[in-house]
Amino acid sequence: MSSLIRMLPLALMLPIFIGCSPSLTPQEVFETHQDMFEAVEDYINNPALFVDGDWQAHWGDGQLFGPSFDLANHRHTGSQASLDRALLALEANRARVAEAAPALLDYSDNLETISMSLLSLLEAGNYLEDTAAYLEASDQMIVSLESLTTLSNDYLDIAGGEFAADTYGPTAMTAFVTSVHLERVDGYPDETREHHLERADAILNRLQDKVWDAEREIYLFAPGDERVMLYPNVTVMGALSRAYQLTGNPTYKERFEATYRGIQALKDEDGDHYHSPYSKESMGATDDDYTTHSSQNYLMIALIGMYQATGETKYLEEVNTLLGFLKDRLLVDGQILHHWIDGRAAGEPDPYIYCLGCNVQTLYLLLVLQLTLDA
């Protein structure tokens, strides 16, 4: 989602599948789309797009995927410029999270950026050694989130943010909280591990009880909302894939695979992307073939996570296909545009045309594939 539910920054401790002869490899996927990677990277390196630690024109996403991309790029290439930019962004995020943690509801209008900032601090634990300040701010915020989640009986149906609560819905917001617990385990595996895994499991079970439609194999946008929507499903899939990576519990994989079957109802007849109707009406789409850059990104996060955990190349093949859609349909002059609508890419007079945060997210996904070669 361009925003709140930034599910699952991807850990880079990737398994190596010995004895497998996959039909497609992460290196091949990266090389197939390297031209898109280089074009987008060149565009986002414009200094005007990063000011005083904050990425611009990002709808919340940039504060997570900007520093995550830069940290991954520094690990892969040794780029000092990437590390310096990441540290500036992380300090801005730390200050933002620390300020909001004691009174989270007072900052509800800025929920998307605060949420992404929190996840960036958790992801930083996978790359950096000097992270005590990030962990302190994160844990303070997690306490506030836990209070809110407990009051909501582990299903976060609240108003908040500029658009996340209404646009992505309570199921996706609840998946975000699950992901916070899982990323806390992944980035900082300490004595709190079991607590956070137990909380993630409890919230995932609550989602299963409250909004799982067993007949159609989908998670509902909200209780009683019968629409088939992509965002609630791919955000929960992201949480399930991360939970499976961390625990090996087969229930998570079974739920993931069931949801993957369910979202096939949203797959376009061209077979290269999934419809994501959450903003279809507000953008003025006149047919069903409407989708957004961010929704395809979140699906790829989930798929890459399950590929990392299982080595099953069907997930990698789907990622390759979705990246091809972004490159063939939405990439224009170094910008992957916001959406596909009425047989064309985003453009005037659409309300939104471009999200920088989604672009750095795609860069990060591509770099994660490249980093499998370094593992």
> Could you report the per-residue pLDDT of 52-100, keeping only the tens digit for each?
999 987 667 889 999 999 999 999 999 999 999 999 999 999 999 999 9
Task: Supply the pLDDT for residue 349.
Answer: 87
Residue 216 has, within 13 A of its CA and on its CB side, a CA count of 15
The structure's pTM equals 0.92
* 89 contacts 120 by C-beta, under 8 angstroms: yes
CATH code given to domain 26-371? 1.50.10.10
Q: At a CB cut-off of 8 Å and minimum separation 6, what does 183 contact?
A: 8, 9, 119, 122, 123, 242
What CA–CA distance (Å, rounded) separates 54 from 63? 7
Task: Supply the pLDDT for residue 165.
Answer: 52
Helices in the chain by DSSP H: which ranges? 26-32, 34-44, 62-77, 80-100, 111-124, 132-151, 164-167, 169-187, 193-211, 230-247, 250-262, 280-283, 293-310, 313-325, 356-371
Q: Answer yes or no: is pLDDT of 2 > 70.
A: no
Task: Supply the pLDDT for residue 20.
Answer: 42
Maximum Cα–Cα distance across the chain: 54
Confidence class for position 178, pLDDT limits 50, 70, 90: very high
Structure tokens at 365: 């996904």
Q: Which residue has the higher pLDDT, 312 or 6?
A: 312
Q: Answer yes or no: is pLDDT of 12 > 50.
A: no
pLDDT in tens, 312-349: 999 999 999 999 999 999 999 999 999 999 999 999 98
Q: Answer yes or no: is pLDDT of 310 > 50.
A: yes
Task: Supply the pLDDT for residue 374.
Answer: 52
Please state the φ and ψ torsions of residue 370, each to the nearest 5 degrees. Answer: -65, -35
Task: Report the pLDDT averaged over residues 101-105.
Answer: 91
Task: Report the pLDDT averaged over residues 297-324.
Answer: 96
Task: Supply the pLDDT for residue 24.
Answer: 92
Task: Supply the pLDDT for residue 161.
Answer: 42
What CA–CA distance (Å, rounded) separates 231 from 237? 10
Task: Supply the pLDDT for residue 75.
Answer: 94
pLDDT in tens, 183-236: 999 999 999 999 999 999 999 999 999 999 999 999 999 999 999 999 999 999
Highest mean pLDDT among 10-24, 75-89, 271-285 belongs to 75-89
Confidence class for position 5, pLDDT limits 50, 70, 90: very low
- What percentage of the chain exceeds 90 in pLDDT? 79
Task: Supply the pLDDT for residue 58.
Answer: 67
pLDDT in tens, 345-368: 999 989 989 999 999 999 999 999
Distances 88 to 43, 63, 73, 93, 161 between C-alpha atoms, Å: 20, 11, 15, 9, 24
Q: At a CB cut-off of 8 Å and minimum separation 6, what does 226 contact?
A: 220
Task: Supply the pLDDT for residue 117.
Answer: 95
Task: Supply the pLDDT for residue 166.
Answer: 62
β-pair type (212-213, 50-51): unpaired
Q: Which residue has the higher pLDDT, 18 or 302?
A: 302
Q: Answer yes or no: is pLDDT of 21 > 60.
A: no
pLDDT in tens, 133-177: 999 999 999 999 999 999 999 998 865 444 345 678 899 999 999
Distances 207 to 168, 226, 256, 356 between C-alpha atoms, Å: 15, 15, 13, 31
Task: Report the pLDDT averaged over residues 236-251.
Answer: 98
Please state the φ and ψ torsions of residue 345, each to the nearest 5 degrees. Answer: -80, 165
Mean pLDDT, the chain, integer: 90
Structure tokens at 141: 């915020």
